[in-house]
Amino acid sequence: MRVLIVGAGGIGGYFGGRLVEKGEDVTFLVRHNRKQQLDENGLVIESVHGNMEFKPKTLLSGEPAEPFDVILLSTKAYHLQGAIKSTKPYVTENTMILPLLNGIAHVDELRAAFGDDKVIGGLCFIETTLDEQGKVIQTSPIHDLVFGEFSGEKTDRIQKLQATFQGTKASFRLSENIEQDMWHKYQFIATLSGVTSIFRSPIGPIRDQEYGVNTIQTLLQEVGGVMRSVAAPLADEIEANQFEKIMQMGYNMKSSLQRDMEKGLKTEADHFFGYLLKISKEKQLSTPVISTIYANLEIYEDQ
């Protein structure tokens, strides 16, 4: 299959690189500056699962290219519309769109842009970033990409995609319940991002405080309540499982949203929390912790 990775950052660069390492046909859609960097230095991955370096095939927006079978999107939510515009010329009748964004709001945007049938579900679990030289630095034992049809069916196209993803040094997993997986991750990421951003702290010190733990529990319940109000397919015991997972995380673990704040960067406040508050207002739900987190992020971004 012909694979187009939108961007060559920490996530796209890593998973795309592992596919190239296997021998798959992968092209990276990049901006001018990133193309120049890749042309000069190659795509360099430093990972606990093995380093690699190669000269990637790159494409600038608007340049002609043969059709792609799957387009992998791993942009930040606030870059999604730009990514949609850049990729539209490369989408044909049989192209699959595989998003790896956190949250859920992007699914409707992608369906509106490309059609319901082209969008499949996806998410990833990985700690990775670009350093100042543009190297992909991947540090976590976990490097999982999960994908699947929203219907849960093992269609011909999803089985072909599974065959493309198999046999790499990364973990690509086909899910028969990808929609639930995406909602579960959304709840987890919203909670972790929410508490670490509001307290400006890694998760460990927050857990050390009684009211920090209470805030984690309350936020999990608020987020779960909002999600269930729109019939999100959450598991019955998911809040308890998410809480246990958060309590077992490394003491110094930070969310990517918190790291963005520390760097003075834009955050995904609207995508994570604005979306939940919109539902909360429509359903007349009380969500004081979510509201406080969102207000904190809005104040940060206005400064």
Q: What is the tens place of the pLDDT at every residue in 3-17?
A: 999 999 999 999 999
Please indicate, yes or no, whether residues 197 and 246 belong to a single structural domain of this protein. yes
The pLDDT-based confidence of 288 (bands split at 50, 70, 90) is very high
For residues 123 and 199, state if they share a domain: no
Span 71-81, average pLDDT: 94
Q: Is 76 a catalytic residue?
A: no
| CATH number of the CATH domain containing 220 | 1.10.1040.10
For residues 246 and 284, membership in a common domain is answered with: yes
Number of domains in the chain: 2
Is residue 138 located within the same domain as residue 260? no
Look up residue 52 and give its amino acid.
M
For residue 129, what pLDDT is reported?
87
Q: What is the mean pLDDT of residues 250-263?
A: 91
Task: State the average pLDDT over residues 188-193.
Answer: 97
Name the burial class of residue 174, with classes exposed (0-12), middle (13-18) and buried (19+) by CB atoms within 10 angstroms of its CB. middle
Confidence of residue 52 (pLDDT cuts 50, 70, 90): very high
pLDDT at 61 over 90: yes
Residues 286 and 270: their CA atoms lie apart, in Å, by: 18
142: three-class secondary structure by DSSP: strand
Average pLDDT rounded to a whole number, residues 60-68: 94
Q: Are residues 98 and 172 in the same domain?
A: yes
pLDDT of amino acid 220: 98
User: In the 8-state DSSP scheme, what is residue 274?
Assistant: I
Place of tokens 């990364």: 170
Confidence of residue 140 (pLDDT cuts 50, 70, 90): confident
Q: What is the mean pLDDT of residues 262-277?
A: 96
* Other C-beta atoms lying within 10 Å of the C-beta of residue 93: 8
Which long-range contacts link 202-205 to residues 24+ away (Cβ below 8 Å)?
Answer: 202/251, 202/252, 202/253, 202/254, 203/246, 203/249, 203/250, 203/251, 203/253, 203/254, 204/250, 204/251, 204/252, 204/253
Instruction: Say yes or no: 279 and 193 in one domain.
Output: yes
Question: What Å distances lie between residue 114 and 75, 78, 86, 110, 124, CA to CA?
Answer: 17, 18, 13, 6, 22
Mean pLDDT of all residues in 183-203 = 97
Same domain, 29 and 121: yes
The verdict on 189 and 171 lying in the same domain is no
pLDDT tens per residue, range 144-162: 999 999 999 999 999 999 9
Q: Whole domain around residue 253: which residue ranges?
A: 181-302
Kindly report the CATH number assigned to the domain that includes residue 60. Answer: 3.40.50.720
Q: Identify the pLDDT of residue 214.
A: 98
Residue 127 pLDDT level (bands cut at 50, 70, 90)? confident
Per-residue confidence at 132, pLDDT binned at 50, 70, 90? confident
Q: How confident is the model at residue 195 (pLDDT cuts 50, 70, 90)?
A: very high
Condensed to tens digits (0 to 9), the pLDDT of residues 97-122 reads: 999 999 999 999 999 999 999 999 99
Q: Of 185, 263, 278, 281, which residue is the catalytic one? A: 185
pLDDT of residue 28: 97
Average pLDDT over the chain, rounded to an integer: 96
State which of 121, 156, 176 marks the end of a domain.
176
Tell me, rounded to whole angstroms, the distance of Cα 255 from its chain centroid.
12
Cα distance between the two ends of the chain: 46
Boundary-marking domain end, from 148, 176, 204: 176
Q: Which of 133, 161, 176 is the last residue of a domain?
A: 176
211 and 270 part of one domain:
yes
Q: Are residues 136 and 211 in the same domain?
A: no
Backbone angles phi, psi at 236, to 5 degrees: -60, -40
User: Phi first, then psi: what are they for 188, rounded to 5°?
Assistant: -65, -50
Same domain (yes/no): 126, 267: no
- One domain, residues 214 and 235: yes
CA atoms lying within 13 Å on the CB side of residue 22: 21
